[in-house]
Amino acid sequence: MSTDTLELAKALISRRSLTPDDAGCQEIIIGRLEKLGFKIEKMRFGNVDNFWARRGTSAPLVCFAGHTDVVPTGPLDKWESEPFTPTIRDGMLFGRGAADMKTSLAAFITAIEAFLGEHPGHAGSIALLITSDEEGIAVDGTVKVVEALKARNELMDYCIVGEPSCVSRLGDTIKNGRRGSLSGKLTVKGVQGHIAYPHLAKNPIHLAAPAIAELAATQWDQGNEYFPPTTWQVSNVHGGTGVTNVIPGTVEVMFNFRFSTASTVEGLKSRVHAILDQHGLEYELAWELSGKPFLTPRGDLVAAIGSAILEVTGVETELSTSGGTSDGRFIADICNQLVEFGPLNATIHKLNECVAEADIEPLKEIYRLTLTKLLA
């Protein structure tokens, strides 16, 4: 059955908004918001379109956040229907961005419209933070908008990010936090030489191996109520000239921490350096922090959206901090309570991405009812 949410989702999916091209999605959304009295602030950084929309000036401020950009389609001949032609087949809505996350965006809008129709004089304020740079390098998107808001002390009380969070059925999972991501590029130095004369060389691979083994075996923390223990993983190792008779002069090891709120960035760095130094290595180590961990414990927002899910779907939701990073890592800097909730994530970034047509209106109802619980 066609609904306004479904039709809006189709309109957004039909836009070929490959990162960082918004392809007109934001103008569709802005047109709906302006009719509701939202003040629109377009924020373009580099070649990325973003906007901040707000209705009201009082607290509490409830923000919906998301992205209009999508990942590439992959081979078109592997799709059962054209990825930017939204298609309903066997009860599913197919199209690139259907799950990640244009259906959530559509549900944001229709939920707000329904809420305002019922509660025109509601307490607090409603906002949206929308970017077209979430699936890419994410340097001119949400992070820049957050910096601008922070500079003028415009903070959020609650934020719902529409990332697809559910596993088996709509409502089964809320993301109430994400692990941080800290990467390192380690270069261990040796002395290059002929492999037949090892006493005239120093093999950096041999030198680095015991340290790598210790790093891999180290327990960095035990996690906590919401997070599993921090993990350290090697992603790439490169050394040598490509021939069999030369001892390399250096070996390069790239690694990554996925870390919880039980550890700190500086603490992890310090422990890595201590292990490398203990093994007497001559090395260089470049660090890159792509996201700090964030966590929203049980409180007003978790209770509101959890009870909304239960009322709409009958599902007792679970809290999770699994998965990679999201733009929530930036928003958490100016928001007291933040969760991610959206449709099933089983097909995101895959061929034939889809959402169940039967989940679309319930998703909108969950967002509407959450607003009601927080602001009405």
Q: Which residues are catalytic?
A: 69, 134
Identify which of 294, 300, 64 has the alpha carbon closest to the alpha carbon of residue 175: 294
Contact 246, 194 (CB under 8 A): yes
How many Cα neighbours within 13 Å face the side chain of 135? 22
> Which token pair is 204?
């950096």
Structure token pair of residue 243: 């021939």
Q: What are phi and psi of 348, to 5 degrees?
A: -65, 140
What is the residue type of 340?
A: E
Neighbour-count burial of 348, counting CB atoms closer than 10 A to its CB (0-12 exposed, 13-18 middle, 19+ buried): buried
d(CA 233, CA 246): 28
Residues 6 or more apart in contact with residue 154 via CB below 8 angstroms: 334
CA distance 41 to 45: 13
Torsions phi, psi for 295 (to 5 deg): -150, 135
